[in-house]
Structure 1
Amino acid sequence: MRQLEKVNLRLKRRVADLNLDKAMLQDILAKKALTLARLREWPRDLQARYGASERQVCFAQQVSSSSFRCRFVAADDSALRLRIKEIIETRIHYRYRRVHVMLRREGLVG
């Protein structure tokens, strides 16, 4: 009898998890096309709204948790942009390949 109660409890938890996943997926499908910025906020929004764990949200959206945690930081390339503009202004006929060679010689790009 005790073993049957354990199995029943485990199945109830599984059904609750599946219902939560279903609710999250229906919420995702009900929304219109999302912008890229909104897609980045979406998992956190689901976590707050449903009280779901990061693992549950990632599983429901079929996204790896590493990409969920990944934060992209743009490199500060203002000096590079400025140098490209200087080269283009002084040497009008240079195209991107020649500009790249010059930048590589100056050590600004790899």
Structure 2
Amino acid sequence: MDERSFSRYFKAFSDPTRLRILGLLAVKEMTVNEIVKEIKLAQPTISRHLGILREAEVVRDRREGQQVFYSLNKISVSDCCTGFCDCLEIKVVDGRKDKKAKKGNKNKKIKKK
């Protein structure tokens, strides 16, 4: 996963309203109207947030007649979290190697000719 993908995910996770929506969708699939009733915000506001979550592939939608049902895309969220942790681990390990290399150079005595 690249930096753009992480950026898109973290933008989706960066808003308190979107986090509340994700909390609801982690429990069960819901329509926009059900989410509106729970969160008590206007329908266009909820729809805008769902659009951002859908664009980031954090939520899925499925149509059933006139209704659109939203659910958490657990695989995508899991992949993002795993990928980000892997990325951090690599950065931490690389950082430790750099520090050890610098320490090693400081501890070496310079021989005079």
| TM-score for the superposition, normalised by structure 1 | 0.27
Name the one with the larger helix percent.
1
More strand by share: 2
Higher relative contact order (CA 8 A, sep 6+): 2
